Amino acid sequence: MRDAAPGNGIGLSGSEAGGRMSALPLVFLPGMMCDARVFVPQIGALSRRHAIHIGNITAHDSIEELARSVLVTAPLRFALAGHAMGGMVAMAMLLQAPERIRCLALMDSDARADSARTAGRRGRQMARVEAGELESVMRDEVLPECLGGDPADTRFGALCMEMARDLGAQVFLRQSAALRDRPDLREVLERSAVPTLVLCGESDALFPVEVHRRMQERIAGARLAVIPGAGHLPTLEAPEATTRALEAWLAA
């Protein structure tokens, strides 16, 4: 398996039996200013049965264009799991190519468009990043909202800062514009016919459990998994429980 640390748009081979993959390919989509490192525990566990692909959601400034670009490089048929912004791109992919997505996992995400207040905050952050303040915006505004408190005091603050530095200011600007201008995707969920897992950390302050419960209610037959002891990053904060939930979703 290739190194899953930095980078996006990479393919990671799983274990093979008799020269063939034993299960459906799995495409992971990371959240804003994140890369494959947020899925390292799941990649390690799930790549034994699934060919893992990490979709690139850094190159465009609209959710729709990001969805189209991921579909270009994705397998013909696949399971799709998106975290946060990655979940929003996943919903747009479901709208564009429902016949290619066999099952869907939305993790710590939201189907609604940005509120006017949130869109205004993004605009102010973008102005600061354009002025060279990426690190301070991440440290003082973005990460406290995701991780709570001072990110320097959290287990994963350093990793999140490292990913943000590696991706850089232009990715922040493109992704912020895509999030600010994204459409409301709730109707996509209501029309969905694919087996769906809606997963979140029980203490996610950015997209609380109730947001995920409302998404689950819009999707016929969807299952809700609330991960104890986790916030906005359950893939890292509670990796074993998150992986078990994903394994059950893939097995079903």
Residues 124 and 238 in one domain: no
Beta-carbon neighbour count of residue 139 at 10 Å? 18
Number of domains in the chain: 2
Q: Which amino acid is at 173?
A: L
Question: What is residue 252's predicted lDDT score, i.e. its pLDDT?
Answer: 84
Question: What is residue 145's predicted lDDT score, i.e. its pLDDT?
Answer: 86
Residue 41 DSSP one-character state: H
Distance of alpha carbon 247 from alpha carbon 188, whole angstroms: 24
Question: What is residue 152's predicted lDDT score, i.e. its pLDDT?
Answer: 61
Q: What is the SS3 assignment for 7? A: coil
Question: What is residue 65's predicted lDDT score, i.e. its pLDDT?
Answer: 98
Contacts of 99 (CB under 8 A, 6+ apart): none
Structure tokens at 184: 């409301």
Residues 108 and 50 in one domain: yes
Question: What is residue 210's predicted lDDT score, i.e. its pLDDT?
Answer: 97
Containing H/E element for 102? strand 101-107
Strand partners, 199: 107, 225
**Residue pair 185/95 in contact by the 8 Å Cβ criterion:** yes
Whether 6 is in a domain gets the answer: no
Q: Which domain holds residue 55?
A: 11-112+184-251
Residues 47 and 107 in one domain: yes
**Residue pair 64/181 in contact by the 8 Å Cβ criterion:** no
Residues 171 and 201 in one domain: no
Whether 59 is in a domain gets the answer: yes
Residues 99 and 194 in one domain: yes
Average pLDDT per run of 10 along the chain, which is 252 residues long? 42 41 86 97 96 98 98 97 98 97 97 96 97 96 81 79 97 98 95 96 94 96 95 95 97 88
Distance linking the first and last C-alpha atoms of the chain? 25
